[in-house]
Structure 1
Amino acid sequence: MAVANLLRRRCCASLPLLLGTVVLVLGFCSSHVSLALAAAGSKVEYLPGFRHEGPLPFELETGYIGVGESEDIQLFYYFVKSESNHSVDPIVLWISGGPGCSSLYALTQELGPLLFDLPKNNSALPTLSLNPYSWTKVASFIFLDLPVGTGFSYVKSSKNYTSNSEETSDHGAEFLRKWLADHPEYPSNSFYVGGDSFSGVTVPMVVNAISYGINLGLNPQIDLKGYFVGNAFTYPISYIVQMIRGFGLIPDEMYKSYQECGGNLICLLNFLKIGQLTLVNFPQHILETNCIARNEIGASYGQSSVAKRFRGFNVHALDPYFLCKGAQLISQWANDGSVQEALHVRKGSIEEWVQCRDDLPFNRTVLDSRPYYAILSMQGYRSLIYSGDHDLFVCSLSTEAWTKSLGYSIIDDWRPWFLNNQIVGYTRTFSNNMTYAKIKGSGHIAPVYTPLECFIMFKRWISYEKL
């Protein structure tokens, strides 16, 4: 029913949209005004804090592109060219979750070419090194601050502008068309959209908006191939308590009491007890102690249990410092005047850069994104859905449930996938070109916890190889 309603809204809206499209297409073909406003980005050759001598060993461009009415919405992006062959490699539009989390996080702490170092002096400018498992080794990435108000993106005329889910998807599609028009050297590259966490809602909506523009014949043409999302929120039904029991955080009798819950006081007390027993764990990765408990017991930072588990296998060991202090570290760096100057940030455009804006003026008008996945499945786009199996924010059991609920047959059933002759996860593939991948021992933002495994996963999938 949800899919039918969405299709009905699309069809009913087609007539006025088609009329508007005539004007839009003429505008794209005969006028350079809008493209001039979407000015070309600026190359970044040096970054304060980058520890290697000389210019950056990868190509980085930053800039703004205006979208919406009168291009009042100014969206900031970081474009990193593929380190292989950028003229033919795929291009990914990456949108971090939140909503309101800057994609600078993905660029410097997750899957981009940079990683922050452990600070030796908290008052000094944080330093960065190269990420040996950057996904930009095999694809170009446009890291976009979306929705507006995220990161360095801003509104020119009003500080109180409030966006919503549908408008954000249109902004993302318009951004990509204008970015491609501004970069005519990539007419034949295949395009993908990626993201994680709350972008499980944003990504399929942006892909749907891009696809809709393609079907209307909007220029420039985009060779859209598919999308991928990690630990993706899709709808507000979870399997958290099942996961808690599965990992042995509560006894079986407490879980059975929860299952038989009748809404009475005893049931409520049991549920609160489950929460009390669980919250000492770090919800993004249950093998870790949460930051509050770590501070209360005076635990020092050092190699995490995740890193110890993968010692000798995963050479990039995550330190718990980044789990608890990473947002402060990146904020210190991104708010430095020399950094913003190097990134070509417009002075006065924002008051303060924050990694994730809790006060983002944004209305979540779509809480269940499964109908969008269903529509994209009918159009045959490729997709990769991956999950870290130790995540309590968005449980892998939930992801497995909604991918199956789309109703497509399984063409490659549940099986392990390997790296260096070691099982690193499980996978299955559906007849709608959707691949599901579970990563063992990984957390909510999977490439942070298991960078090597996730890089290999992405490299194989983007190259049309089986996991």
Structure 2
Amino acid sequence: MGYVLASPGVDRYQEENMKVLYAYQRSLISEALYKSMKENCNGDYVSIDPQNTKCVSDYEAYSELVRYINEQQIMEPLCATTPGLNREMLQELQDPPTFWCRVDYYHIFVDKWANDENVRRALHIREGTKEEFLRCNRTMAYAQTLQNSVQYYRNLTKANLEALVYCSDLDMSVPHLGTQHWINSFNMTIRDKWRAWFVDGQVAG
């Protein structure tokens, strides 16, 4: 038994803060700007003191550089800001064209994948326990939103459960750097060293 987390928002402060380092590592901002931000903002890019004019100026420069980046997939166009004519031209290049912008299909592939019988068997989902996977269960009413749920996952490490936590290296909305940070805070023994993984003989990550 276990659970799967896909690009989970677990520590929102850390994840927001890691966006600057992520942007630097992906060459979305210059080394000079990153070093200036690190020094002027003291490594805190979330709780910025408005009196710290150097930090504010640096953050404004950073924000302008990443303004038109699609945070959920930095290699894809940000369709909300793509001018109508250009968007049409981009879509005409695709087959099928309606799948160019993620907003058009709202992650339907995740639902299709998770509900595939082969996937369900591979994940050892017992027949009859869960009829259908829903990426977002909108029938659940939440009284509050937790900004940090690290402790919950730390407690789960004491249970007899397996966990699969994965992130996209192209996801800036929940940078993998933030995910690695809270996982590393558990101080667990590393069983396998960092390595490449393959799909059909090709390096996939």
Same fold (TM over 0.5): yes
Task: Tell me: CA distance 1:252–1:278, structure 2 relative to 1, closer, same or farther (3 Å).
Answer: same
| Aligned with 1:266 (options 23, 42, 54) | 54
Q: CA deviation at 1:257?
A: 1.0
2:100 match: 320
1:253 counterpart = 2:66:
no
How far, CA to CA, are the matches of 1:297 and 1:266 in structure 2?
A: 39
Q: CA deviation at 1:302?
A: 2.7
Match runs of 1:122-137 below 5 Å:
none
Structure number with larger C-alpha Rg: 1
Task: Tell me: CA distance 1:356–1:411, structure 2 relative to 1, closer, same or farther (3 Å).
Answer: closer
How far, CA to CA, are the matches of 1:299 and 1:267 in structure 2?
A: 35
| Aligned with 1:390 (options 164, 170, 174) | 170
Task: Tell me: CA distance 1:420–1:384, structure 2 relative to 1, closer, same or farther (3 Å).
Answer: same
1:280 counterpart = 2:56:
no
| Aligned with 2:158 (options 357, 363, 378) | 378
How far, CA to CA, are the matches of 2:148 and 2:186 in structure 1?
A: 13
User: Does the residue aligned with 1:250 lie in a helix, a strand or coil?
Assistant: coil
Q: CA deviation at 1:378?
A: 0.8
Runs of 4+ in 1 over 6 A off after TM superposition: none
User: Does the residue aligned with 2:147 lie in a helix, a strand or coil?
Assistant: coil
Q: TM (normalized to structure 2)?
A: 0.69
User: Does the residue aligned with 2:174 lie in a helix, a strand or coil?
Assistant: coil
2:124 match: none
2:132 match: none
Code of the residue aligned with 2:32 in structure 1: it is E
User: Does the residue aligned with 2:187 lie in a helix, a strand or coil?
Assistant: coil
Code of the residue aligned with 1:278 in structure 2: it is V
1:302 counterpart = 2:91:
yes
Match runs of 1:173-252 below 5 Å:
225-236=1-12, 237-238=14-15, 239-252=18-31
How far, CA to CA, are the matches of 2:10 and 2:79 in structure 1?
A: 27
- Give per-residue Cα distances to partners, 1:402-453, cap 9 Å, x unaligned: 111111110111111111221111xxxxxxxxxxxxxxxxxxxxxxxxxxxx
How far, CA to CA, are the matches of 1:297 and 1:283 in structure 2?
A: 23
Task: Tell me: CA distance 1:272–1:356, structure 2 relative to 1, closer, same or farther (3 Å).
Answer: farther
How far, CA to CA, are the matches of 1:375 and 1:318 in structure 2?
A: 43
1:401 match: 181
Report if aligned partners of 1:227, 1:381 keep a CA contact under 8 Å in 2. yes
Code of the residue aligned with 2:26 in structure 1: it is F
| Aligned with 2:147 (options 367, 371, 375) | 367
Q: CA deviation at 1:296?
A: 5.8
- Give per-residue Cα distances to partners, 1:116-135, cap 9 Å, x unaligned: xxxxxxxxxxxxxxxxxxxx
Report if aligned partners of 1:303, 1:319 keep a CA contact under 8 Å in 2. no
Identity %: 24
Comparing both structures, which one devotes a greater share of its residues to strand?
1
Q: CA deviation at 1:372?
A: 1.3
Q: CA deviation at 1:273?
A: 1.7
1:417 match: 197
Report if aligned partners of 1:388, 1:396 keep a CA contact under 8 Å in 2. yes
How far, CA to CA, are the matches of 1:408 and 1:394 in structure 2?
A: 22
User: Does the residue aligned with 1:383 lie in a helix, a strand or coil?
Assistant: strand
Report if aligned partners of 2:22, 2:175 keep a CA contact under 8 Å in 1. yes
How far, CA to CA, are the matches of 1:326 and 1:240 in structure 2?
A: 26
Code of the residue aligned with 1:372 in structure 2: it is Y
Task: Tell me: CA distance 1:296–1:265, structure 2 relative to 1, closer, same or farther (3 Å).
Answer: farther
Q: CA deviation at 1:401?
A: 1.3
User: Does the residue aligned with 2:195 lie in a helix, a strand or coil?
Assistant: strand
Task: Tell me: CA distance 1:303–1:265, structure 2 relative to 1, closer, same or farther (3 Å).
Answer: farther
Q: How many residues align?
A: 163
Report if aligned partners of 2:29, 2:62 keep a CA contact under 8 Å in 1. yes
Higher relative contact order (CA 8 A, sep 6+): 2
Q: CA deviation at 1:280?
A: 0.8
Q: Is there any run of 5+ residues in structure 2 with no aligned partner, and where?
A: 42-48, 109-135
Task: Tell me: CA distance 1:240–1:297, structure 2 relative to 1, closer, same or farther (3 Å).
Answer: farther
How far, CA to CA, are the matches of 1:372 and 1:318 in structure 2?
A: 39
Match runs of 1:142-181 below 5 Å:
none
User: Does the residue aligned with 2:2 lie in a helix, a strand or coil?
Assistant: strand
Q: CA deviation at 1:317?
A: 9.9
Q: CA deviation at 1:392?
A: 0.9
Report if aligned partners of 1:370, 1:402 keep a CA contact under 8 Å in 2. yes
2:79 match: 291
Task: Tell me: CA distance 1:252–1:290, structure 2 relative to 1, closer, same or farther (3 Å).
Answer: same
